Amino acid sequence: MSLRDIARLAGVSVKTVSNVVNGYAHVSPETRAKVEKVLAELDYRPNLSARNLRRGRTGVIALALPELDAPYFAELSRFVIDAAAEHRWLVVIEQTDGGLDRERQALDGVRDHRVDGVILTPFAIGAEELAARTDDTALVLLGERIHDGPADHVAIDNVRAARDVTEHLIGLGRARIAALGAQDNSASGTAPLRLAGYRQALAEHGLPETVAKVERYHRAEGAAAMAGLLALDPRPDAVFCFNDLLALGAMRTILAAGLRVPEDIALAGLDDIEDGRYSTPTLTTVAPDKAELARIAVDLLRQRIDGRPGQPPREARAGYRLVPRESTLGR
Amino acid sequence: MSLRDIARLAGVSVKTVSNVVNGYAHVSPETRAKVEKVLAELDYRPNLSARNLRRGRTGVIALALPELDAPYFAELSRFVIDAAAEHRWLVVIEQTDGGLDRERQALDGVRDHRVDGVILTPFAIGAEELAARTDDTALVLLGERIHDGPADHVAIDNVRAARDVTEHLIGLGRARIAALGAQDNSASGTAPLRLAGYRQALAEHGLPETVAKVERYHRAEGAAAMAGLLALDPRPDAVFCFNDLLALGAMRTILAAGLRVPEDIALAGLDDIEDGRYSTPTLTTVAPDKAELARIAVDLLRQRIDGRPGQPPREARAGYRLVPRESTLGR
DNA sequence: GCGACTGTTTACAACGTTGAAACAACGTTG
DNA sequence: CAACGTTGTTTCAACGTTGTAAACAGTCGC
């Protein structure tokens, strides 16, 4: 069922059918009605492969992120898919596992498929390599910061957000505030930014640092790292975890050790994943405006796709807010 | 950069380049080497729109599910994407929100884009409507059961799994076992199956039923429905929630009410989402083999796509296992 | 009644790819 | 040595769409 079939049945040329389908203005009412009738009867759908071949567009964008089953990314993906739907784009998701090879593959595989653009959450891949890429597919970096990056970028102000959380903990009167989530295996993760914010706040109040490292932002690593912090003497009376998953893992360790949250140890995360709203105690966190992040990312991509090449990279910020809950306030 | 460019530079015909790209056997070693050199130099990538137009395939399948940010679906998606990657398929994700319109739209929108196949987790859409669809795109139903369905289908044995959980609770000596998660707004959800399994087990032991209904399988609804169960007199001493999200919501309500899990109320879910492994207490659940589900779904789809049309629908089962944790056993 | 103009419709080519068929060069076979 | 098969390569057409340009019909002004 192609334009040709419709044209034959309606007794007009293929191009006229195409004009009707595309809402071209100068088609006589009678012709339009006749064609539309046949279109409806046969339930015509354009063949997008052909249309895209002709137009040089695919109508598909890729979203490349470390892992879809981390709640933060799942929630974000939802918004990206919704935002893309408004531009009638489909979204294919590529999982990189934060590995350099797979991040490259994602950019490559995606190139194979000639998507119109890529939204990438980089982790292992560095700024230099991204800058050096030869592919001219539109690219937007989402959620991580590569300083003076080679592509459009959108994120929340991670330094400030981390400082806000830390100050919240300081405001509770806690003095031994640990950070959980530093990393040294990522070329472009947010860990350094969040660490910087944490340090700023502590420095302003003359408090000492305690930093626990992890490799990945998973519950299991949060749980393990927390065990290390519990073994310290004196042990921390508050912990800022660099994301909610780490915090939930840490919470499990604290509670399983027979200690109380927040009475013995106050706990805060970052991401505002839904789990944290139903844990016991509920988890204090920073809520990035995920819908805004997604909307901006898609919008930057749209401008990049529609615009002329060679425009300088743009930097955009999405909002966030601190959400105090039971894990720092008690019930 | 097309085959034509490569052909010109290599001094051969377009078709010969195509043959090299596609690994056609009868190409002389010298020609092959010459062409491959140019291919590598120009970093040639086939235009998939053109290839798909010619071949009538797109290399893209759709995964339509209610919501990507429900952890079960996020985890499942991960496996589907991985399984599809082995066949070099990309996966576009469509979110239906469990709404009839959006499920139809997903099947429709997907047709617009001429994907090679669709994996659908139906919720609102009924068997009759699916059976009546005119589209001949390959379709596999995943995770929900439509009796004598019109398409290939894969799921775990929900009735048995629910019976296993209920028997586990009975085995703890609990006598007032409630079910949380019945639904009457879904034409093809699993709720009736899980309810049936729950009832079978109770009936075998002559125990009374208590059933709480919800509309959606979210934490908030689990929390709300649990409040209703707590108001009963006598209140239940065990609750089987039809999925883990409901159970985590219910757990929150129980603990916030000052009751203990499992001492006062034992709690079990179904899905084995990661959250349940780090809640306090950890959550007893049924773990469907998600990787197997995904693998089978993709495999059924592959057979459907490659096979002749008109084959009768197939029914496949994936494994599951009961995972007892603290919410029924204590620490 | 003629040219210019407007509105409507059409023919053609092209996007990049690949299956079918043709062809040339060669070796094998009867 | 003629017929045949094999290998390597090419030509051609087609997949379904849309941009360009041109054809066509009707209307207006003079």
Which residues of chain B have a CB within 8 Å of the CB of A73?
74
pLDDT at A101 over 90: no
pLDDT number for residue B222: 97
pLDDT number for residue B109: 65
Please list, in sequence order, all residues whose beta carbon lies within 8 angstroms of the beta carbon of residue A195, skipping any fewer than 6 positions away.
A162, A179, A182, A211, A242
Interchain pair B53, A50: CB under 8 A? yes
CATH fold of the domain at A55-156+290-319: Rossmann fold (3.40.50)
B46 touches strand C (CB under 7 A): yes
Whole-number Å distance between alpha carbons of B257 and A140? 46
A171 touches strand D (CB under 7 A): no
pLDDT number for residue B111: 62
B55 touches strand C (CB under 7 A): yes
Which residues of chain B have a CB within 8 Å of the CB of A81?
68, 93-95
List bases, strand D, within 7 Å of protein CB. Answer: 7-12, 14-20
Whole-number Å distance between alpha carbons of A280 and B272? 19
Q: Are B242 and B194 in contact (CB under 8 A)?
A: yes
Give the residue range(s) of CATH 1.10.260.40 domains in chain B. 3-46
- Distance in Å, alpha carbon of A268 to nearest chain B alpha carbon: 16
The number of angstroms, rounded, from the C-alpha of A208 to the middle of its chain's C-alpha atoms is: 32
Q: Are B71 and B275 in contact (CB under 8 A)?
A: yes
pLDDT at A314 over 80: yes
Beta strand pairing call for A285-288 and A266-268: unpaired
Q: Give the mean model confidence (pLDDT) for residues A304-327.
A: 90
Give the residue range(s) of CATH 3.40.50.2300 domains in chain B. 57-156+290-319, 158-287+322-329
Name residues of chain B where pLDDT drops below 50: none
A14 touches strand D (CB under 7 A): yes
Which residues of chain B have a CB within 8 Å of the CB of A74?
68-69, 71, 73-74
User: Which CATH number fits the domain B158-287+322-329, given the four candidates 3.40.50.2300, 1.10.8.50, 3.20.20.140, 3.40.190.10?
Assistant: 3.40.50.2300
Whole-number Å distance between alpha carbons of B183 and B217? 9
pLDDT above 90 covers a percentage of chain A that reads 70
Nearest CA in chain A to B44: A112
Look up residue B100 and give its two tokens: 């009839």
Whole-number Å distance between alpha carbons of A252 and A254? 6
Give the residue range(s) of CATH 3.40.50.2300 domains in chain A. 55-156+290-319, 158-287+322-329
For residue B32, the SS3 value is helix
- Distance in Å, alpha carbon of A49 to nearest chain B alpha carbon: 5
Residue indicated by tokens 């995770």: B143
pLDDT number for residue B15: 96
Q: Which residues from 23-52 of A have any strand D atom under 7 Å from their CB?
A: 46-47, 50-51
Number of H helices, E strands in chain A: 13, 12
Q: Are A271 and A246 in contact (CB under 8 A)?
A: no
Q: What secondary structure letter does DSSP report for A276? A: G
Which residues of chain A have a CB within 8 Å of the CB of B274?
69, 219
- Distance in Å, alpha carbon of B201 to nearest chain A alpha carbon: 30
Instruction: For B262-290, write each residue's pLDDT tens digit.
Output: 999 999 999 999 999 999 999 999 999 99
**What count of Cα atoms within 13 Å lies in the side-chain half-sphere of residue B120?**
35
Instruction: For A155-194, write each residue's pLDDT tens digit.
Output: 999 999 999 999 999 999 999 999 999 998 777 778 999 9
Interchain pair B93, A91: CB under 8 A? yes
Q: Give the mean model confidence (pLDDT) for residues A256-276.
A: 96
pLDDT number for residue A111: 61
Q: Give buried/exposed letters for B263-278 (b at 16+ CB in 10 A, else e).
A: ebbbbbbbbbbbbbbb
The number of angstroms, rounded, from the C-alpha of B196 to the middle of its chain's C-alpha atoms is: 21
Instruction: For A33-43, write each residue's pLDDT tens digit.
Output: 999 999 999 98
pLDDT number for residue B123: 85
Q: Give the mean model confidence (pLDDT) for residues A289-312.
A: 91
- Distance in Å, alpha carbon of B273 to nearest chain A alpha carbon: 10
Interchain pair A280, B280: CB under 8 A? yes
Write the residue in B60, B74, B278 that is nearest to A92 by C-beta: B60
pLDDT above 70 covers a percentage of chain A that reads 97
- Distance in Å, alpha carbon of A163 to nearest chain B alpha carbon: 27
Angle, vertex CA A242, rays to CA A241 and CA A244, nearest 5: 70
Chains A & B: contacts with CB separation below 8 Å: 132
| Residue at A206: amino acid letter | G
Please list, in sequence order, all residues whose beta carbon lies within 8 angstroms of the beta carbon of residue B243, skipping any fewer than 6 positions away.
B72, B181, B217, B269, B270, B271
pLDDT at A147 over 70: no
The band of A65, judged by pLDDT with boundaries at 50, 70 and 90, is very high
How does the average pLDDT of chain A come out, rounded? 91
pLDDT above 90 covers a percentage of chain B that reads 70
pLDDT number for residue B209: 96
Taking alpha carbons only, the member of A178, A163, A156 closest to residue A254 is A178
- Superfamily name with CATH number, domain B57-156+290-319: Response regulator (3.40.50.2300)
pLDDT at A331 over 80: no
Residue indicated by tokens 């028997």: B167
Look up residue A292 and give its two tokens: 């805004």
Interchain pair A252, B278: CB under 8 A? yes
- Superfamily name with CATH number, domain A3-46: lambda repressor-like DNA-binding domains (1.10.260.40)
pLDDT at A112 over 70: no
pLDDT number for residue B108: 73
For an interface test with B, the pick among A118, A280, A282, A327 (most B C-beta atoms closer than 10 Å) comes out as A280
Interchain pair B280, A71: CB under 8 A? no
The band of A250, judged by pLDDT with boundaries at 50, 70 and 90, is very high
Nearest CA in chain A to B245: A275
Cis check: omega of the bond before A234, within 30 degrees of 0: yes
Sign of CA dihedral B45, B46, B49, B52: negative
